[in-house]
Amino acid sequence: MHLDLPITLAFALATVALASVYFRRLTVNRPPIGVVNRQDVWILLAGIVAIPYLYLALPLAVVATLLALATLGILLFALEPLAARGPRLMLALGAVALDVALALTVGTASNIFMAVNNVVLAIAVIGIVNLWAQSGMRAVHVAAMGLGLAVYDLVATAGLPLMTDLLERLDEIPLVPFMGWHAAGDQLVVGVGDLLMLALFPLVIRKAFGRRPAAIALGAESVVLVALLVVVEFGLIGRILPAMVVLGPLMAGLCAIWLRGHGGERSTREYLAAEAPPRLAPAPTLT
Amino acid sequence: MLDTALAQLRFAASLAFGAPFHVRSMERIVAAMRATRDEFGALGSDANELLAGPQLDDDTRRDIQLRRLRKQTLRALRETPYYERRLADCDVDPARLRWEDIARLPVTPKEVLRDDPDALVSRRRTPFLRATTTGTTGEPASVWFSEREVRAMLALSAMSFMTERLIEPDDVVHVGISARGTLGVMSVVGASAAIGACAHVAGALGPQRTLALLAAPRGLPGKRRRASVATLYPSALGELVEHGVRAGYRPRDFGLRRILLSGEVATAGLRRRCQALFGDVELYENYAMTEIAPFGGTLCADGHLHFEPSTGLVEVLDLDGAGPAAPGRLGTIVATPFAPYRDTTLLLRYDTGDLVRTLADPPTCSLRATPATSAPLGKRALAVGHEHGWTTQRDVLEALEDVPVVPLPARCALSRGADGVEVQVVARSDGAAARAAIADALESRAVPLRRLRIHADRAELVAALPARCDLRETTFDIPAPPTHAAATARAA
């Protein structure tokens, strides 16, 4: 067995676990008015379907610029509860600059680049899923999104060459939206879409149903992730596996069981009243 | 959430540029506010700033107001028969209007809205609702509104009620103002619907009936057991206090958390004495009138009346008609509501007839960035001028309602006497102690009292000051109200 499997797994599982820690201990600066609703789920799904085509159609330099700007914005947002404005800006700019510099100097095939890129991607994923979950996204929305992505993944990854083309094209640019590791001339990666769903699901389950269901969700999807990566690593099915085809129905099934058991989801207010999380003090701000 | 962000952008564009409101966006924001509150228990801390926009410095505010006044004046000139006539004689070019030219624009008297409200309606709008005032100082005035204006007003009041947390989802709202005050009733009922509270439009009933309704237990799912918010005229609240205490009601008989007062002067004495009946209830007072709605004023903790500058222009004109009142002087509120808040019945420099004092010093309160005056002092038509200046309704009512021997609401009359004023008042006693207490209270409020007449019955008053609690709404057959004992037995 090569090192790419344990290292990729470690990065992915650490991202998922840290997203839960962030959810419990830090508060994002959510919009003062508005709750994530069904319409947002449709918009997210539409974005997920459209973005790969956009990345394939646009010149690589434009894609890289878009990724750099988006990553910078997300890092600034994700680090907001942890650092004051000045240090936050330095950290975010430094991370993006380091990622770009490594891609240009040592190349995207280098594991030094992959390590930095994995960390940047992890922080971005943690920030995004916390914004969604702390803005009132419901478990049923995530389950529906999971089912929608399962269908999409089946078509786009297994049925069409879309994901293979995307992987090959974006492999050459910095801030690549994949988390992974190179070993023995090959690489093992987890796409950012799968990573977002993996990190998001336990958060909305914690809010909606409580600690135990969240732990079960985290455990179940970790087992599935390990199994999927093993299958890919040992080439049992193919080079690219549509992970959401397995994860989507799993999320929907678990959500349906808990919805029936609990008779509905908790609101954020009810979740906080029932399990007030130990919050860290807010980051100092310059006035 | 994304659709809410887009709706907020459209709303912000209307506030910033005066573009017509997109009512569906406003209703979308209201729905999102409710969803936010249901999910999180409260709106985010920046919600108020997000909806009201940033605070403006003086120069920016004046610039925005001048641009909006020019636009509204041009529109009035081109689109309304009344201003077509009035502005034709006026030597001012609305398109080039400067701050110092404003005084040359004609003041619009209340009589126009009484005699010919149609003449003020824009030819480009479709009027939908004719709302009428209660007519405290004479024949009621009427104002036409378009459907879009009314829907926008309902959305605005829902936003305001939600950000101020005046009405909560579990509230049972008792609407105790005159049902003829269409806009006031619609605003509260519409806001209640948007918030998820329930409203009972009881109307202006007698005190016994109102007390019985306020004390009556309710069996509504998810709601408070008794009326928890009430909208009342201050005089009606006074009437409730007087009758309620006499009938043996106590704070435990009610579930009121908040009373919203408007339409009249609410005195410190009334606020204090109402605790005997309703306990530690929060009293909220604002300044609103049908003619200039939704332009109105907010009372701050320091007792100033503040006006949102993007909604309209407020001027305080000296009572001698010579122009703007000097700092610290008495004057009447002259208001021009701006588009997009008002675009059907157009009003320029409308003389409200409401008295205020300009502030002698700049305010230092939390709302100091917005123009401000003193709290409303009553109607000019009901104030009395004399050698020492003017005595207003507030001067007299603040004094009288502070004296326990005067029943609430203070029933009184005010007239000019030799070198001062004569006051008639209904009191429980006309003994020397009562007379001295009343005279002291009046003099402490700088009322130049020359004669005091105390009556036992309000029918004896000559030219009594009007009180809106007398706007009774009756039915063919009013059932006898349940007694206090019966109400408390049912509650138990």
ipTM summary value: 0.83
Question: Are A31 and B40 inside 8 Å of each other by CB?
Answer: no
d(CA B422, CA A269): 59
Strand order in the sheet with B305-307: B198-201, B172-175, B229-232, B258-261, B282-288, B296-299, B305-307, B372-373
Exposure string of A74-102, with b = 16+ CB inside 10 Å and e = fewer, is bbbbbbbbebeeeebeebbeebbebbbeb
Question: Are B4 and A34 inside 8 Å of each other by CB?
Answer: yes
Name chain B contacts of A39, Cβ cutoff 8 Å: 2-3
Name chain A contacts of B39, Cβ cutoff 8 Å: 35, 136, 267-269
| Total residue count of chain A as it appears in this document | 287
**Chain A CB within 8 Å of residue B32 CB:** yes
Question: Are A136 and B47 inside 8 Å of each other by CB?
Answer: no
Residue B226 confidence (pLDDT): 96
Question: Are A268 and B39 inside 8 Å of each other by CB?
Answer: yes
Token representation of residue B391: 């005595």
Question: Are A32 and B43 inside 8 Å of each other by CB?
Answer: yes
Token representation of residue B265: 């002067």
Q: What angle do CA B132, B133, B138 make, to 5 degrees?
A: 120
d(CA A252, CA A245): 11
Q: Average pLDDT, stretch B423-428?
A: 96
Residue A286 confidence (pLDDT): 45
Name chain A contacts of B35, Cβ cutoff 8 Å: 34-35, 37, 136
| Among B2, B8, B38, beta carbon nearest to A33 | B8
Question: Are B1 and A34 inside 8 Å of each other by CB?
Answer: yes
Positions in chain A whose pLDDT score sits under 70: 1, 184, 236-239, 279-287
How far CA B249 is from CA of A233, B244, B255, B277, in Å, comes to 80, 5, 12, 7
Count of A–B CB contacts within 8 Å? Answer: 62
Give the gap in angstroms from C-alpha B3 to the nearest C-alpha of chain A: 8
Handedness of CA B183, B189, B192, B193 (dihedral sign): negative
User: Comparing B245 with B481, which gets the higher pLDDT?
Assistant: B245
Those residues of chain A whose CB sits closer than 8 Å to some CB in chain B are 30-37, 39-40, 43, 135-136, 267-269, 272
Residue B469 confidence (pLDDT): 92
In the three-class reduction of DSSP (H, G, I as helix; E, B as strand; rest coil), residue A183 is classed as: strand
The whole-chain average pLDDT of chain B stands at 91
Give the gap in angstroms from C-alpha A210 to the nearest C-alpha of chain B: 16
> In terms of C-beta density within 10 A (0-12 exposed, 13-18 middle, 19 or more buried), how is residue B344 classed?
buried
Residue-wise pLDDT for A97-124, tens only, equals: 999 999 899 988 888 999 999 999 999 9
Token representation of residue A70: 């988006």
Residue B391 exposure: Cα atoms within 13 Å on the Cβ side: 28
Question: Are A31 and B5 inside 8 Å of each other by CB?
Answer: yes
Residue among B237, B242, B248, B208 nearest B428 (CA): B242
Exposure string of B231-249, with b = 16+ CB inside 10 Å and e = fewer, is bbbbbbbbbbbbbbeebeb
DSSP-assigned letters across all residues of B245-278: HHHT--GGG----EEEE-SSPPPHHHHHHTHHHH
Residue-wise pLDDT for B58-75, tens only, equals: 888 889 999 999 999 999
d(CA B285, CA B465): 21
| Among A37, A40, A268, beta carbon nearest to B40 | A268
Backbone angles phi, psi at B307, to 5 degrees: -120, 130
| B137 Cβ neighbours under 8 A, 6+ residues apart | B110, B353, B379, B381, B382, B466
Residue B478 confidence (pLDDT): 59
End-to-end CA distance of chain A: give it in Å, rounded: 54
Give the gap in angstroms from C-alpha B33 to the nearest C-alpha of chain A: 6
| Total residue count of chain B as it appears in this document | 492
Question: Are A36 and B1 inside 8 Å of each other by CB?
Answer: yes
Residue B256 confidence (pLDDT): 97
Name chain B contacts of A35, Cβ cutoff 8 Å: 1, 32, 35-36, 38-40
Name chain B contacts of A36, Cβ cutoff 8 Å: 1
Q: Average pLDDT, stretch B255-266?
A: 94
Residue A144 confidence (pLDDT): 93
Chain A residue with the nearest C-alpha to that of B32: A34
What is the radius of gyration, based on Cα positions, of chain B?
A: 23
Chain B residue with the nearest C-alpha to that of A31: B44
Give the gap in angstroms from C-alpha A38 to the nearest C-alpha of chain B: 9
DSSP-assigned letters across all residues of B176-223: -S-TT-HHHHHHHHHHHHHHT-EEEE--S--HHHHHHHHHS----TTS
Give the gap in angstroms from C-alpha B4 to the nearest C-alpha of chain A: 6
Beta pairing, strands B312-318 & B282-288: unpaired
For chain B, count helices (H), then strands (E): 15, 19
> In terms of C-beta density within 10 A (0-12 exposed, 13-18 middle, 19 or more buried), how is residue A141 classed?
buried
d(CA B366, CA B349): 27
Residue pair B21/B340 in contact (Cβ under 8 Å)? The answer is yes
* DSSP state letter for A155: I
Give the gap in angstroms from C-alpha B39 to the nearest C-alpha of chain A: 5
Give the gap in angstroms from C-alpha B295 to the nearest C-alpha of chain A: 24
Residue A277 exposure: Cα atoms within 13 Å on the Cβ side: 22
Residue A287 confidence (pLDDT): 37
Residue among A279, A217, A269, A63 nearest B39 (CA): A269
Residue A105 confidence (pLDDT): 92
Has residue B321 got a pLDDT over 90? Answer: no
d(CA A256, CA B52): 42
Of the pLDDT bands very low, low, confident and very high (cuts 50, 70, 90), residue B44 is: confident
d(CA B391, CA B413): 12
User: Comparing B52 with A63, which gets the higher pLDDT?
Assistant: A63
Task: Please state, for a pLDDT cut of 90, what percent of chain B lies above it.
Answer: 72
Has residue B148 got a pLDDT over 60? Answer: yes
Token representation of residue B152: 């926008």
